[in-house]
Structure 1
């Protein structure tokens, strides 16, 4: 009777699992996300953590300048040409559209080429420092996925600091220092990202690599996100599983690539020489034609979508979570402490779904596959099926494994080698036998009823061995037989 019941359950499991391939996947109590990828075997499903797609985050940024009147053009002034610092007849005039250089031109779509750019006032107050703070705010926590790239039309500044905030601009910490002379400017030895390693990837460095001054081909400054990823995922980022494993276990590493705001502190314009030419101060200013920041909404691996609402980015939270970053459990879903999801794919990772509080468990909360009824009993508890446990009947007792129909007996296990005579365990519910054997555990020769029929089969009758574990004992251990 129990064997018949097992075979019926197995047949139903095969049917349902086949159907489930065409629907968003739920493997047991792990909600997972999936996408189609192309491999040598063709198009397959790849299961991964739930994350919104990376996008150009500049589309959602708000920019502020300090001091607020640092943009050129009010009043109008002349400045020197980019390629010729001694031809100083160019004009910046905020009242004329063709001659204005407002802050939004750091990001406009035409800014992908240098015909439009933001520009500061010139260094007419030298020797007073020409300091500018450019703050980029998203009013949302985002995770960087690519290099930050800043294109200067004035030549890269002699001194600059890139800073980040994780608390919406209340506090700041440096991301990287840039200088023509790091020791003189910031009392730091110069380094590049190539000098770092897995163990020092979070080190804040000063680099001289991007501060060569007033050359026309020296316009771009990078903050190298991908080079830091490469310490864990390899030079071409082929081994993302290794990077995700590190992100999963190292909070400081996750926080390093997470921001709510960026601040560009311009401390000294490009001079191209040791001394400032006080006779031609109109040649010194800052001008930026493009800033690129690629990333994704941080949703703590509890969402695949991020929408803009009232000019603010919000995660479309799943897993019974809520908040701008899916950073807490919904009301009545606090049966265990909130936790971010895992970057690791199943079965190593888990979505850490918020579960109902014991006190709030009522009628829409029993797991329909693990409980006898989909409603709680009159004492407020779910009545679990055989082999199932937990407040919602969504966990399995030892000897059982969760499948789409709930907890089923763990008939076999490749690690424990329950399948005999070379059989292979499939999904813990059946043994796939070699051609010459049959039975639940591949414990029988197919020709056992006719021993003479085995005599011509290359010694099969001599290689057969008795089962490693008596069938009755195994069925008792897995709950299929009560003897």
Structure 2
């Protein structure tokens, strides 16, 4: 009996472990852009997709307020507690350090006592709306990896909109609406993120979860739930990240949803409590934010594993012969094929999709090790999977294309003809060219390329 109980407990323990553990292999490892391998007894580079680690992106932003004079303290002002209109002992004075509440206190270290926070002026011009735009700018494209969290020192706003920009603040689009009454504030039916499905995961919703009366005393946060949306594709504990990565690879709208250059917090109506606004004591109504969390990474299109902050500006340290702030184009002389972002697939290393040289001159070999060993025989112009040779050319030792009669060039892209034979060659070239639908290999086939090459003892580009 005891032995049976031991077996049962052991089985339950194993089941619980499998249910609760994370599976690292399903996440993928994109921290290394390339590694050195031996191929055909020579040292060569093996390239992989890579991206910077996620970090606290508030360390690199610039904050601006509209209107610019909305911060309290000029002139000094007394504030009362929302829940007790007779408790008025909170003074804001911009000229006194311990009484000032400037915008940078939204991003300083938490855990201090007393708490540090930014604070607006009070609603002294009621019934004119007390509205504030807080804009966070990175001057760089970033990708969100965790929830955006706003922590209020005052009551949570009764109306708030979170917006983002993908073009450095020129245009804006909503991320989420927040209200105590969504129908009244934005003519939208209230909805919570857990009500979304895979097909509606990019829907812009209005939620009432974070805007309720006096609950702010116990929960002061307002969230934009990134991970809950990830979970719609990756599972409730984000176990199946391969599914999410596959969708990110193939769906531009999904990638763009979690990408931004600027974030804007539009505070539209402060907390007023359970009763009507007390016009005789407007110093009870204001905004105060003690912390903003934005977790993410520089967007480098899977072509860099580090991002540097230099002279007040973020920039990817591009690999794979790419360049630009987001590694979004090929370097000069490395435009032998169209630029492409890296691929998360196949898990766990992805596909690099490096830029290749325009020609095979000695100055632009793609494989040169950091140890100074030139790997000149590994400069692949073609292979039997990607079929880069044109006009019926045949790939020879992954180094050059053997061209049919009448064609020349590195990829057999040049037509050699004289007189009447030109028309015949051009018609043959048209017949040999694959139809448009066949020119792009399916993603699933591309994801198998590294493994196919590996089985042949080769390294992928």
Structure-2 residue corresponding to 1:283: 284
User: Does structure 1 residue 325 correspond to structure 2 residue 336?
Assistant: no
Gaps of 5+ in 1: 1-22, 34-48, 377-382, 394-425, 430-483
**Partners of 1:206 and 1:249 in 2: CA distance:** 28
**Secondary structure in 2 matching 1:266:** strand
**Partners of 2:228 and 2:348 in 1: CA distance:** 29
Structure-2 residue corresponding to 1:364: 363
User: Contact 2:378 / 2:399 at 8 angstroms: preserved in 1?
Assistant: no
The superposition leaves residues 296-319 of structure 1 with CA deviations (integer Å, 9 ceiling, x where unpaired) of 000000000111111111100000
Q: 2:35 aligns with which of 24, 30, 36?
A: 24
**Partners of 2:118 and 2:111 in 1: CA distance:** 10
Structure-2 residue corresponding to 1:194: 194
Larger Rg: 1
**Secondary structure in 1 matching 2:219:** coil
**Partners of 2:117 and 2:156 in 1: CA distance:** 14
**Secondary structure in 1 matching 2:231:** helix
User: Does structure 1 residue 166 correspond to structure 2 residue 166?
Assistant: yes
**Partners of 1:59 and 1:163 in 2: CA distance:** 20
Residue 154 to residue 351, structure 1, CA distance change in 2 (3 Å): same
**Partners of 1:363 and 1:356 in 2: CA distance:** 11
Q: TM-score, normalised by structure 2?
A: 0.71
Size of the aligned set, in residue pairs, is: 353
**Secondary structure in 2 matching 1:364:** helix
Residue 122 to residue 31, structure 1, CA distance change in 2 (3 Å): farther
Q: 1:395-434 counterparts in 2 under 5 A? A: 427-428=455-456
User: Contact 1:32 / 1:50 at 8 angstroms: preserved in 2?
Assistant: no
User: Contact 1:117 / 1:290 at 8 angstroms: preserved in 2?
Assistant: yes
Structure-2 residue corresponding to 1:129: 129
**Secondary structure in 2 matching 1:199:** helix
Name the structure with the higher helix share.
Answer: 2
User: Contact 1:370 / 1:385 at 8 angstroms: preserved in 2?
Assistant: no
Structure-2 residue corresponding to 1:308: 309
Q: TM-score, normalised by structure 1?
A: 0.68
Q: What CA RMSD, in Å, does the superposition of the two structures yield over aligned residues?
A: 2.9
Q: 1:105-144 counterparts in 2 under 5 A? A: 105-110=105-110, 115-144=115-144
**Secondary structure in 2 matching 1:279:** coil
**Partners of 2:148 and 2:378 in 1: CA distance:** 54
User: Contact 1:364 / 1:374 at 8 angstroms: preserved in 2?
Assistant: no
Deviation at 1:214, TM superposition (A): 3.5
The superposition leaves residues 146-205 of structure 1 with CA deviations (integer Å, 9 ceiling, x where unpaired) of 000000011110000000000111100000000000000000000010110111011000
**Partners of 2:380 and 2:200 in 1: CA distance:** 54
Deviation at 1:346, TM superposition (A): 6.4
Deviation at 1:25, TM superposition (A): 4.8
User: Contact 1:82 / 1:153 at 8 angstroms: preserved in 2?
Assistant: no
**Partners of 1:267 and 1:79 in 2: CA distance:** 20
Deviation at 1:336, TM superposition (A): 1.2
**Partners of 1:350 and 1:278 in 2: CA distance:** 63
Greater RCO (Cα-Cα under 8 Å, separation 6 or more):
2
